[in-house]
Structures are given as C-alpha cells and as structure tokens.
Amino acid sequence: MERLGAVILAAGLSSRMGEFKPLLPIGGVSMIRRVV
C-alpha cells in the first residue's frame, strides 16, 4: 500500500478569538476534526 501525507493549514495567533482556532468547536466538532 502506498503512503500518503498531507499538510493541514491551521495557523494564526487567534488573538481576536482568544483560543487556539483548530480546537474551537463548530457544531459540536472541533474545527481541525472537520477539516481532516
């Protein structure tokens, strides 16, 4: 089986949101989980 890699772009300081953006919940699921 061939291996596959990926880069998920989730950068930024989140200064306006006050939290780490990839972990913010959207509809009960973290943003990073939705992207993946």
Q: So what's the pLDDT on residue 2? A: 95
Over 90: is that where the pLDDT of 9 sits? no
Q: Label each residue of the chain as H, E or C.
A: CCCCCCCCCCCCCCCCCCCCHHHCEECCEEHHHHHC
The answer for residues whose C-beta is within 8 angstroms of residue 8's C-beta and 6 or more apart is 32, 35, 36
Return the structure tokens found at 22: 């990839």
Q: So what's the pLDDT on residue 22? A: 85
Q: So what's the pLDDT on residue 4? A: 94
- The domain limits of the chain are 1-36
Q: What is the pLDDT of residues 10-34, one digit of tens each?
A: 777 788 888 888 888 989 999 889 8
